[in-house]
């Protein structure tokens, strides 16, 4: 469920005529539950999939498709001008073609011409249609015009076929919309061609076949990074441990691991092929020396002590691998630090020391404890760079934080399409 927002914003949800139109009902809900004023504008074709009554009931507002309905209100001008965000989902090939050409042959396309707020197109169509040069050009045109065109998911499409073109999950569409509301320029298409390897979640160190040592990591920050990077055009592999996430981000390859050593194996092997490596996972520093083959019984003598061994420091190992030439020198390596202040220094002091110790290019420092960071939706902290630059990360959603981290990453990626003006 969406968190109730402190400010009520006006959101136009444009619905194209595709089978995925039914999924948009959850997106409308996401925004109304956050307290926003939602106006739904379906195309004529969209109403063949979902009736106007459903959209009216969900948004609590009237629904029209034509410019000539309610002419006295000049709806296409009013709705577009007043909107703080327009989300088009599913954005069909036809709808994007009409929008790219600047047509105004229904209320939705006319509204798009008058909107000056962030516009998010979320495409859904068959793979052939998505890959057709006409669609590719229309997507590029829309991005040049300042719109964000989401990268669709891969997977099961209508009928028996699978491939790129699936509508991302409604939760993800909601998060991307929230991000654009918080920061209209958060999703430039500037990471095209950049290969990104991201770890997320907590590791689990087995004690016996049913028990493990774990931690509170939810994986939310790593998932937010993977989601935002993929939407900025990067080719993302996410190596995920235990997470508390409802689904997988669109257009991201997800590899599952359990223990720190499994994570290490995946990261070392894949880092050689990556331009950017981000260690957002919460890695257990220790593991039981031995894993019992059968469930440990309570016994009569009470609990037996657990003997622990130290796990490898994966981040430090990646930096060492780069120094040794096993990972290309140009690979950007980013670490995370979850810190609490103590008698030896504050959160930032510990962060600075950790950056020096780990030798990575960027370190994201989070203050933890008292319910902060772990499992929460919001986050705050600092971004420390090896060259001494220190950037404060203002309090906000983990998705917003991810977008700020990626800005810095984009500026460090050599030969990428990095930089805020990058385009497809």
φ, ψ at 58 (rounded to 5°): -70, -35
Residue 355 and residue 347: Cα distance in Å, rounded? 12
Q: Residue 366 Cβ, how far from ligand CTP at the closest point, in Å?
A: 9
The residues that bridge with 397 in the sheet, in sequence order, are 378
Q: What's the CA dihedral at 153, 156, 158, 164 to 10 degrees?
A: 40
User: Which of the stretches 189-197, 336-344, 389-397, 402-410 binds ligand CTP when contact is defined by CB under 6 A?
Assistant: 336-344
Q: Which is nearer to ligand CTP, 95 or 364 (by Cβ)? A: 364
Buried b / exposed e across 344-362, counting CB within 10 Å, b at 16+?
A: eeebbebbbebbeebbbbb
User: Which of the stretches 67-75, 138-146, 228-236, 277-285 binds ligand CTP when contact is defined by CB under 6 A?
Assistant: 277-285
φ, ψ at 218 (rounded to 5°): -100, -15
Judge whether 379 counts as a catalytic residue. no
Q: Residue 41 Cβ, how far from ligand CTP at the closest point, in Å?
A: 44
Residue 4 and residue 32: Cα distance in Å, rounded? 9
Q: Residue 150 Cβ, how far from ligand CTP at the closest point, in Å?
A: 28
Rule CB under 6 A: choose which of 11, 153, 239, 314 binds ligand CTP: 314
Does position 250 bind ligand CTP by CB under 6 A?
no
Q: Which is nearer to ligand CTP, 87 or 314 (by Cβ)? A: 314
CA 149-155-156 angle, to 5 degrees, is 115
Residue 315 and residue 344: Cα distance in Å, rounded? 23
Q: Which is nearer to ligand CTP, 28 or 280 (by Cβ)? A: 280
Q: Which is nearer to ligand CTP, 135 or 366 (by Cβ)? A: 366
Q: Which is nearer to ligand CTP, 298 or 344 (by Cβ)? A: 344
What CA–CA distances, in Å, run from 81 to 10, 76, 101, 111, 222? 10, 8, 20, 8, 36
User: Which of the stretches 15-23, 152-160, 215-223, 309-317 binds ligand CTP when contact is defined by CB under 6 A?
Assistant: 309-317
CA 167-37-175 angle, to 5 degrees, is 35
Residue 270 and residue 196: Cα distance in Å, rounded? 10
Tally of CA atoms within 13 A in the half-sphere of 183 that contains its CB? 20
Residue 412 and residue 29: Cα distance in Å, rounded? 38
Does position 285 bind ligand CTP by CB under 6 A?
yes
Residue 323, judged by CB atoms within 10 A of its CB (0-12, 13-18, 19+), counts as exposed
CA pseudo-torsion sign 292, 298, 300, 304 = positive
What tokens does 105 get?
Answer: 């042959």
Does position 337 bind ligand CTP by CB under 6 A?
yes
The residues that bridge with 378 in the sheet, in sequence order, are 397
Annotate 190-211 with DSSP letters as a single string.
Answer: --TT-EEEEEESB--EESSSS-
Does position 335 bind ligand CTP by CB under 6 A?
yes
Number of residues this chain uses to bind ligand CTP (CB under 6 A):
13
Does position 191 bind ligand CTP by CB under 6 A?
no
Does position 366 bind ligand CTP by CB under 6 A?
no
Q: Which is nearer to ligand CTP, 192 or 359 (by Cβ)? A: 359
The residues that bridge with 195 in the sheet, in sequence order, are 235
Does position 265 bind ligand CTP by CB under 6 A?
no
Does position 321 bind ligand CTP by CB under 6 A?
no
User: Which of the stretches 16-24, 27-35, 57-65, 280-288 binds ligand CTP when contact is defined by CB under 6 A?
Assistant: 280-288
User: Which of the stretches 87-95, 123-131, 138-146, 313-321 binds ligand CTP when contact is defined by CB under 6 A?
Assistant: 313-321
Does position 281 bind ligand CTP by CB under 6 A?
yes
Does position 311 bind ligand CTP by CB under 6 A?
yes
Catalytic residue among 61, 138, 215, 415: 215
User: Which of the stretches 23-31, 34-42, 148-156, 278-286 binds ligand CTP when contact is defined by CB under 6 A?
Assistant: 278-286
Q: Which is nearer to ligand CTP, 83 or 314 (by Cβ)? A: 314
Does position 279 bind ligand CTP by CB under 6 A?
yes
Q: Residue 213 Cβ, how far from ligand CTP at the closest point, in Å?
A: 13
Does position 274 bind ligand CTP by CB under 6 A?
no
Rule CB under 6 A: choose which of 108, 176, 271, 283 binds ligand CTP: 283
Q: Which is nearer to ligand CTP, 153 or 355 (by Cβ)? A: 355
Does position 319 bind ligand CTP by CB under 6 A?
no
CB 43 within 8 A of CB 18: no
Q: Which residues are catalytic?
A: 215
Residues at the interface with ligand CTP (CB under 6 A) = 260, 279, 281, 283, 285, 311, 313-315, 335-338
């Amino acid at each position: 469920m969406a968190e109730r927002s402190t400010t009520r914003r006006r959101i136009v949800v444009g619905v194209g005529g595709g089978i995925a139109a039914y999924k948009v009902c959850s997106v409308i809900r996401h925004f109304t539950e956050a307290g926003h004023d939602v106006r739904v504008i379906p195309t004529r074709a969209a109403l063949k999939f979902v009736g106007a009554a459903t959209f009216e009931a969900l948004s609590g507002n009237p629904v029209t498709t034509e410019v000539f309905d309610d002419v006295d209100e000049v709806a296409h001008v009013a709705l577009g001008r007043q909107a703080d965000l327009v989300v088009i989902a599913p954005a069909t090939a036809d709808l994007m073609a009409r929008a790219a050409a600047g047509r105004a042959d229904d209320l939705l396309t006319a509204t798009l011409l008058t909107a000056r707020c962030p516009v998010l197109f979320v495409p859904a169509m068959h793979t052939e249609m998505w890959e057709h040069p006409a669609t590719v050009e229309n997507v590029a045109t829309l991005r040049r015009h300042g719109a964000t065109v989401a990268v669709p998911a891969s997977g099961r499409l209508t009928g028996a076929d699978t491939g790129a073109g699936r509508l991302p999950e409604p939760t993800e569409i909601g998060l991307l919309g929230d991000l654009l509301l918080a920061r209209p320029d958060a999703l430039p298409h500037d990471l095209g061609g950049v290969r990104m390897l991201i770890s997320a979640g907590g590791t689990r160190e087995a004690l016996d076949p049913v028990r493990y040592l774990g931690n509170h990591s939810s994986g939310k920050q790593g998932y937010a990074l993977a989601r935002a990077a993929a939407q900025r055009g990067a080719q993302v592999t996410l190596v995920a441990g235990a997470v508390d996430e409802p689904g997988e981000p669109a257009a991201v390859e997800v590899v599952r691991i359990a223990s720190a050593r499994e994570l290490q194996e995946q990261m070392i092997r894949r880092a050689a092929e990556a331009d950017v490596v981000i260690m957002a996972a919460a890695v257990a520093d220790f593991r039981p020396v031995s894993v019992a083959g059968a469930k440990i019984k309570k016994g009569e003598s009470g609990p037996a002590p657990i003997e622990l061994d130290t796990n490898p420091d994966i981040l430090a190992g990646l930096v060492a691998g780069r120094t040794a030439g096993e990972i290309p020198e140009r690979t950007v390596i980013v670490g995370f630090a979850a810190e609490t202040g103590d008698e030896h220094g504050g959160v930032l002091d510990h962060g600075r020391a950790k950056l020096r110790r780990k030798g990575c290019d960027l370190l994201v420092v989070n203050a933890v404890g008292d319910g902060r960071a772990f499992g929460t939706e919001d986050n705050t902290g600092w971004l420390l760079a090896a060259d001494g630059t220190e950037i404060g990360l203002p309090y906000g959603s983990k998705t917003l934080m991810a977008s700020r981290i990626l800005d810095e990453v984009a500026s460090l990626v050599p030969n990428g399409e990095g930089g805020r003006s990058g385009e497809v």
